[in-house]
Structure 1
């Protein structure tokens, strides 16, 4: 079946019913895309699954096509039947350029808590450049989705060190994970001592207990390097240096951490507060 110009996909269609506009956007064929738009094809035409050409362009990291569609009136917050937005596709693909473009055209980082989250997707896949952009646009770094937890928890489960660092640096709560499991519980189950040490440096509670009353050290593989790190930390009090930094950052508050460089402080102290 071929769509007529300006028509959306009728009910009962399938993937074979995608319009030529979908195909051009999917393949990054900018000239064809512009030609089809000039001929009157519907920029917001959808498939049976409510996939728009903009979804396709963002999934393929075709920035020029995405820009052309948005300039032609594409809905930056279009949602598929699975709750997928173009921004989610951009973050899933790791397309920072598409993500920035969508946000400039009014895309919302999260429509509803039940929808798939671009922040969680970027954290899960390690797309820290997309995460950087979302954070700069004021996304809630502690957004808690019941079946996933927080972005920090997701990043710890996926062992995405750079995303974990960016979330913590942006003020993510190191204690918020999934239900009673903290990010440290998640990290303790993985082999990375680097991630465990990072969480501890940002004040993770080594004695936190989950619903089964297990501490992070109880989740670690027996005789592993991670278990040794946790046991050593348990036996070693936090330094005054670390406690002071955590106290000051907590007092400043997450919403104002980005203002630290503007404080009338020596560069050494600014670096100290920013973990540099």
Structure 2
């Protein structure tokens, strides 16, 4: 007599085991498909951080359990500006390019904390100066965000790209928005494009006008920024007029801004200014006043020179008064 005949419950027992295994496999497959769909949904919505968190917590990337905001001892030392601790960790062999799950490096943290000495130490140990977070943020962007010209200059000296791609956060736009004129100067010297146009943001000059950062506007214009180029058909002069910032309006007009340029709503800058404001009154008077010959001559000379040759003005055999005049100094 067989075992199955002797024990009629044996086959039933094995069947239940197989069904349980099949059910667990099906449930696990359902969970994975659901999480994949959820991650894809967050990627489509632009929330790549949340997608990364889901993938990291549930799929683990083969690295064991890690939390989304995991930071290494190097991150902590760099972010707090603890140079001696940072150097000791580097000497012990800690990886200076270690990343959190959202790809923040110790160099990002050092720049965000305005710790130039830590930045130098990390770079000397081989830190990647052009590393980007999951959102495309670079250490240079962080430096400009906090107005740290010292960190920005160190990064640029060691090969940081002054200009990112159009879909990445732009360092020169951030410096212009935050009023970090020294960062603007450092970026311009390193070759950043002062007319870099991001479709949904505009140019750095337009950004500075929207933020009412007069000194950044001045630095960008002296560096050769196109005074007419803003965001779509909105000129920097439209932005300054709308913000009722007369100082910036005067500065833009000195550099040749077109007072009659119309935006998509067919408004002139005077129309964009708040009604009965000082800026509106100034623009209306300016429209009716002929330009001075000296101002027109300076603009023509600068146009003929071109932005690429502005730096040669100081070498021209001219009196200092004329050189300063051509450089708006």
TM-score with structure 1 length normalisation?
A: 0.95
* Aligned counterpart, 2:7: none
Give runs of aligned pairs for residues 64-79 of structure 1, distance below 5 A.
Answer: 64-79=117-132
Aligned-pair distance for 1:11? 8.4
Q: Is the 8 A contact 1:11 1:48 kept in 2?
A: no
Residues 15 and 67 of structure 1, relative CA distance in 2, 3 Å threshold: farther
Q: Within 1, Cα distance between the matches of 2:273 and 2:165?
A: 34
* Aligned counterpart, 1:3: none
Larger radius of gyration, structure 1 or 2?
Answer: 2
Q: Within 1, Cα distance between the matches of 2:122 and 2:155?
A: 11
Q: Within 1, Cα distance between the matches of 2:64 and 2:228?
A: 46
TM-score with structure 2 length normalisation?
A: 0.80
Cα deviations across residues 52-97 of structure 1 (Å, max 9, x unaligned)? 0000000000111110000000000000011100000001111111
1:214 is aligned, of 267, 274, 278, to 267
Q: Within 2, Cα distance between the matches of 1:251 and 1:55?
A: 42
Q: Within 2, Cα distance between the matches of 1:200 and 1:12?
A: 59
Aligned-pair distance for 1:10? 4.7
Aligned-pair distance for 1:223? 0.5
What stretches of structure 2 of length at least 5 have no aligned partner? 1-60
* Aligned counterpart, 2:149: 96
Cα deviations across residues 236-261 of structure 1 (Å, max 9, x unaligned)? 01111110000000101101111101
2:237 is aligned, of 184, 206, 209, to 184
Q: Is the 8 A contact 1:9 1:45 kept in 2?
A: no
Residues 9 and 58 of structure 1, relative CA distance in 2, 3 Å threshold: farther
* Aligned counterpart, 2:67: 14
Number of aligned pairs?
269
Give the SS at the match of 1:205. coil
Residues 230 and 12 of structure 1, relative CA distance in 2, 3 Å threshold: farther
Aligned-pair distance for 1:14? 3.4
Residues 101 and 175 of structure 1, relative CA distance in 2, 3 Å threshold: same
Q: Within 1, Cα distance between the matches of 2:245 and 2:279?
A: 7
> Is structure 2 residue 126 aligned with structure 1 residue 81?
no
Residues 39 and 149 of structure 1, relative CA distance in 2, 3 Å threshold: same
Q: Within 1, Cα distance between the matches of 2:281 and 2:62?
A: 58
Cα deviations across residues 89-146 of structure 1 (Å, max 9, x unaligned)? 0011111110000011100012211100000000000000111111111211000011
Q: Is the 8 A contact 1:12 1:48 kept in 2?
A: no
Bigger RCO of structures 1 and 2 (CA < 8 A, at least 6 apart): 1
Aligned-pair distance for 1:9? 11
What stretches of structure 1 of length at least 5 have no aligned partner? 1-7
Give runs of aligned pairs for residues 20-39 of structure 1, distance below 5 A.
Answer: 20-39=73-92
Give the SS at the match of 2:285. helix
What do you get for the CA RMSD once the two structures are aligned?
1.5
Q: Is the 8 A contact 1:9 1:47 kept in 2?
A: no
* Aligned counterpart, 1:249: 302
1:127 is aligned, of 169, 180, 183, to 180
> Is structure 2 residue 222 aligned with structure 1 residue 169?
yes
Q: Within 2, Cα distance between the matches of 1:136 and 1:10?
A: 43
